[in-house]
Structure 1
């Protein structure tokens, strides 16, 4: 577990010792070669501009290129294990000795705890091996200021203390990390301190009981049961006496309920010492009204012309609502982006609340994008609302917008990209009730592409809305911070998307919000184009059409792409039983987790790993079987996954050509036997999620292929970066996971009337870096069985980076 930590957590003294060795290393073994190894490894991205900034450290009195590089690699999540591998390749024994912890051994590991607020709580880590040991506790990746002793004491413990903790023990340059310990702290709800007097600390006490609910079809169901006890309690939800699949978390959630979800629910809470059941509650499901009716009193209060218009508006509805969301980040030949992952995830959750059938996809190649659009068109029909959202690199030439796939060459032209106007024409042929395009990309001209497309004329219809994240000829930006990011457009859109307003009115208000914020003023402004003549809204109800052939086909096609494998239990000959579970993060991203359910007492320790995945998925073994979801790159659904498991994140499921077959390997040890034992079981879970649609195939219809160009000319898109430091936080912005470098200079005070009052520090052009850099090649649709994620409460911190989508 310690080897998976970012290297900047090793501490400044140790990093300085390593940098001294690398600075004075022989040719071929220094910091430049270390940087080349890190880049060739594929996961860590270092631009030529960043490496140049490292080399310029030699001009500083006490500057060190190696120290600058190590800090930079740490910020980019380079782990201790990866650094050791790089140093071994460079044959750097002197540097490696600093990373070898001889003699230090942790004899008491911190235990996870679930406690009530107001109590005194201790997390303990005790090590032996050196006469002088130093301790430092971390909460996630942030140092705990008072955590410099073997015991981390909270007196009293607060709900805000909840989190994951780890302890670093070091003596000089040697160090070792403890295992992670989860601390869950709950407020008292109906439980008094007096009722706990004389009660064994092992006894389970339920402090948050589930509550009965009356819901409509399509509403979200959230049931909560929180308990304290030692050891940490486990949870299992039941409905009508039957155990719920994947109902093994504190919260049980269904994103969109149907009549089948009605019934009696309760939760069983247990540990090795005790077992308790929550109170039984009823969940009632009613039919959602299909239209809003005007009363006689409301009708008589209006003037007649307005009455008829308003009455007509009340009856507007959709036959169905379908959305395709594409977020491209991991470009092979172009700058990487961060915001599309968070933006697509958040928009998926919002649209599902509006009863949209959502397909959410990350990092698609050109053929995959075209085939995904084909599948999207199959879900459209007369009267259906269709929404296409794209976040990634893009450009606009002669009024046509182009979305750039992740495999686009450098430079790219219209033949390598998807033309949005072509997709609109195909949507019109379906006679859709509403066509909405939300394009979160740049709209600057691509000087490499001087193509004038000859497109068939669009039909004259009054059902088209374009929401461009930025104006024509301008750039779109994303706020990068601590490993996660939000696009400027989505930051403001998500605050209003659920409002029951005409879509153009809603977008107008988003544009006004963006205009009030100095973070975007003069850089990015929302542009709206619309031919909408009716009061159509994303919140319009769906008019049930019974079991028509079109409706059944559409439901089947959508459901086909969102089937998760059922959770299963595997029994091994040694008597160990493990649970193999699955969760969806996006329509093409799945989390696999393994957990030991039963272990014979004669077995000391055992762990279950998943391995031998199909080559199509290109799963890095170093990124699999991690102790926390965040270590796999899954920050968005981590809170709703079961704890104390090993997690593996499978992205790009659209590339899966055959069934997903992998191996579950069980390692276990018996007392008195040095060698560990292992058993293996092969598992076939078919084609999960989007893999069933086979969009990895070559162009099938070429339905959205651009017309061939008759003239091209080359030039270079410009790239830029803006660095900002926040003074005041917007209440609905995002916190990050990893730290990001900030540049501070030239402070300019912004007016305090802004919603996101910020100080603009430095504007750095990256055009030169774009021209010279050698770019190296280098994923949400939770359903009931995947346990939807609670929204992340991100926030602007003291270091924000505003960067451009090319």
Structure 2
């Protein structure tokens, strides 16, 4: 096809060139770009081109340019400015293909791309007819990668390697030129440790111990274990196993994780080794626990059953004794089944090899087919409740024994009567879940009573029968089996009708003479986890009422000193006001009373809150008992105090293998205001 003379008017070119030019200008409305770049047409003119019925828009444009004396050379200038090279190649001489920008130009060496990031390569070339592009990776043509830029998102290891572009130009013969290659690699990422070794490992002489440190990095990291800052020869795996430990292995261990991008160290892990007595277990040898932890649950306010008088008192009494002999105690009262399961989950998180664990439940319970069941406060009435509405002792032991504690003492202070078959026939037909816990020589279960008998509380006594005698002997410096024998003997010797009708019993697999009074080494991991769910974090101990320039002093503690799902807030300095408390959570319950001018506010059901506990304190004029005229208010932000941070309310799905999954599909209910008001005369 002959190239037209640049001096020709645009409609004087050959018919074949004219038709080809019209087709090029019609593509993607290129004619509109040309019309706007000539800067001689008004918007209304361009609108008329688009809506012309006798000609296509491109034909109408060329006709108007022809009428204004536009030459082929002038049109070529505008087409080049608009980068419409396909149309331009019809009207001007071919230009040699030349690559002006190679992929990777301006980079020094390899191109580094973040894992899952974006690779962006560019190639630019000039020539007429216009260049065409095809990208390659490791000599393999990349499908549909035919623009002058190559973008690969979510860059992965499989996409590392050499990239280049083949640039071609139509002609007779066609021209083909290759760019230089560039090597794209995943950017080295320094190690990030995602599984640290435990802060402390406790084991006896001759046993095996395993330290684990796992990290993510690119390229894959090199591991090196150290003991007391000395590298251990040949220990270059993420897992360090020491078989048959001796006293010489005791010390502080850590792991170095390194690649070309950097180096990090794991935290220190202390290996503590103890020896068994040479002549076996004897009366004088003392074991040492890595930690001692206890979970105490007392249910007394039942929704569908009779209220009990002493469980909260019993929990507080047992908590006090256990605390005195070094236990980290979690004490809770009035829990639903979901809350009990989640509380046990928190308890088991504190258990590990070397830990002494104590679980105490006091409340309603029953026995059926040899299994003992603890009843939560939301259980149906005795004619309708089923095994699945309660917590089986086997479920507790199954979960706790998976953590292999040094000692597990379970105390069940509840009735063990079998549900009446006539009034509740369904429970006798119900298929029970099985919890095949692994037997270990570490378990002692103490029952307040035996099969088909009741456990008693006496109206005139502060504690139930079993708890009364536990208080007397739990702190005895004796092996735990001997302690429980003393509890049983103490109840038998008591001269009361309740004691004579209650026959405690026990199940024992403990083989060593562990004492609840044994010393503790201390485990920082356990201490940190325990503190998270048993402390109150407040920003201030003084509450300001700025409008009336009044301050109130505040102290916070678990209810009655021990119950971690209720909070006592003591306020002083508000003797002259009627006080109103409001909290934005419908599940929290408030109770307030005066003690010698001081105000004691108790917040119950902390385990149910799904939001930070924020209490509004309103001071009202005591002279107006009718209208409660507001004088000032202040906000008290308690964050997530005590057990509220553990989300005990979160629904649990029991899997077929007895593993537990939190059900995140349950939406939070909309909060309502719950309030309590106390005036000066109360």
1:476 alignment partner in structure 2: 455
Quick one: distance in 2 between partners of 1:348 and 1:653? 19
1:676, distance to aligned residue in structure 2 (A): 5.8
Matches within 5 A, 1:289-688: 308-309=279-280, 314-410=285-381, 411-446=384-419, 447=421, 448=424, 449-450=427-428, 451=430, 453=432, 455-481=434-460, 485-519=462-496, 520-544=498-522, 551-566=523-538, 567-585=541-559, 586-596=563-573, 606-607=576-577, 609-619=579-589, 623-624=591-592, 626-628=593-595, 643-668=596-621, 678-688=631-641
1:522, distance to aligned residue in structure 2 (A): 3.5
Matches within 5 A, 1:4-153: none
RMSD (Å), alpha carbons: 3.0
Quick one: distance in 1 between partners of 2:347 and 2:631? 45
Are the counterparts in 2 of residues 467 and 526 from structure 1 also a CA contact under 8 Å?
yes
Larger strand percent: 2
Are the counterparts in 1 of residues 479 and 516 from structure 2 also a CA contact under 8 Å?
yes
Go from structure 1 to structure 2 and tell me whether the alpha carbon gap of 1:701 and 1:556 turns closer, same or farther (over 3 Å shift): farther
Quick one: distance in 2 between partners of 1:492 and 1:363? 23
3-state secondary structure, aligned to 1:556: helix
- Unaligned stretches of 5+ in structure 1? 1-289, 295-305, 545-550, 598-604, 629-642, 708-806
3-state secondary structure, aligned to 2:308: coil
| 1:698 maps onto 2:651 in alignment | yes
TM-score (norm 2): 0.51
1:342, distance to aligned residue in structure 2 (A): 0.4
1:291, distance to aligned residue in structure 2 (A): 12
1:543, distance to aligned residue in structure 2 (A): 2.7
Quick one: distance in 2 between partners of 1:439 and 1:311? 29
Go from structure 1 to structure 2 and tell me whether the alpha carbon gap of 1:291 and 1:595 turns closer, same or farther (over 3 Å shift): farther
2:96 alignment partner in structure 1: none
Deviations 1:216-238 (A, max 9, x none): xxxxxxxxxxxxxxxxxxxxxxx
Aligned residues: 373
| Segment of structure 1 superposing worse, 444-453 or 420-429 | 444-453
1:704, distance to aligned residue in structure 2 (A): 10
Go from structure 1 to structure 2 and tell me whether the alpha carbon gap of 1:496 and 1:293 turns closer, same or farther (over 3 Å shift): farther
Pick 1 or 2: higher relative contact order, CA cutoff 8 A, min separation 6: 1
Are the counterparts in 2 of residues 569 and 579 from structure 1 also a CA contact under 8 Å?
yes
3-state secondary structure, aligned to 2:586: helix
Matches within 5 A, 1:702-721: none
Matches within 5 A, 1:755-770: none
3-state secondary structure, aligned to 1:479: coil
Go from structure 1 to structure 2 and tell me whether the alpha carbon gap of 1:667 and 1:518 turns closer, same or farther (over 3 Å shift): same
Quick one: distance in 2 between partners of 1:415 and 1:489? 27
Quick one: distance in 1 between partners of 2:514 and 2:657? 26
Quick one: distance in 2 between partners of 1:675 and 1:388? 47
Deviations 1:527-547 (A, max 9, x none): 011011110111111134xxx
TM-score (norm 1): 0.44
Are the counterparts in 1 of residues 588 and 608 from structure 2 also a CA contact under 8 Å?
no
Deviations 1:235-281 (A, max 9, x none): xxxxxxxxxxxxxxxxxxxxxxxxxxxxxxxxxxxxxxxxxxxxxxx
Go from structure 1 to structure 2 and tell me whether the alpha carbon gap of 1:460 and 1:576 turns closer, same or farther (over 3 Å shift): closer
Are the counterparts in 2 of residues 564 and 688 from structure 1 also a CA contact under 8 Å?
yes
3-state secondary structure, aligned to 1:654: helix
Go from structure 1 to structure 2 and tell me whether the alpha carbon gap of 1:509 and 1:682 turns closer, same or farther (over 3 Å shift): same
